[in-house]
Structure 1
Amino acid sequence: MEGTTWAALTAALTVAGAIWTWIAFRRRGAANGLRALGFTLLPAAAWLTGTLEMVVEIAGSVTDWATGLVFNIFTWTGIGLAGLAAVLFVVSGFIRDRQLGRARAGKAAGKAAGRTGTSAGVASPKKRGALPSSSGAAGRSPIDDEMADIEALLKKRGIE
């Protein structure tokens, strides 16, 4: 575009801004009118500094990029693959959580069977409210021992 075209664009934007400024002063007061005046002066400042041409070139480049994005089959294929990857990550997380939950449930069932005292079909008598001893806890972690103590306290209170 030529310099006269840029000048005409600047003049049109400034006149539109001046009308907006006048309406803002009349309807909303001085604060809004001064803000509108500041916006009105921006196109003239952008034209005088050469920034107006740069902004138009940037807007044109962004438009070209967006048009290429919308109408390019390879781009949509890439977006589809990215969506599929995201879905696979989410599904694998759910599956992993279910597997961990099943493993924990299996361990808890094994511990519950071990705590009942049934060994080779012979049941050992248990006193009501007795806490498990830590003598058989050589292979377990301290966290498991603490959880066993907490479960025993809950059972003692009648909460199962």
Structure 2
Amino acid sequence: MLAETICAAVSAAGLGIAAISAYRKKFLSAARTAAYALVPLGLVMTGAVEWIADTAFSPVAWAGFGVLGIAWLLFLSTRAVERRRAGREVTAGGADPRAVAPAASAPSRAVTAKPQAGQSAGEDFSDIEAILKKHGI
């Protein structure tokens, strides 16, 4: 009951401020303030405030949040242990058993073409020149 009264008072005050803004010819600001002022009133009318108040002051609800927190911590700790064990198996076993091709060799690095004896690395622009000529540049 108290929460609903407070929300109604906040809405009334907000609508009063919106009316003052509209009187001062600041219609955009007045509309925005009115929208914010109507939110608490809408929450009261839908029953959300009553539900939140009942949940906030309920020891059973807080115990439920505690149980959810413990479950979340257990989930995270088991995931961390699984990852740590998986890391040890990879280093001890050599290859990852989930790998698609564990015996495949690593990819080789691409070797760049070296310039010919009479040419430096920056002088071979014939391909680039051909492309530019093709496009009319």
Q: Tell me the TM-score normalized by structure 2.
A: 0.46
Greater helix proportion: 1
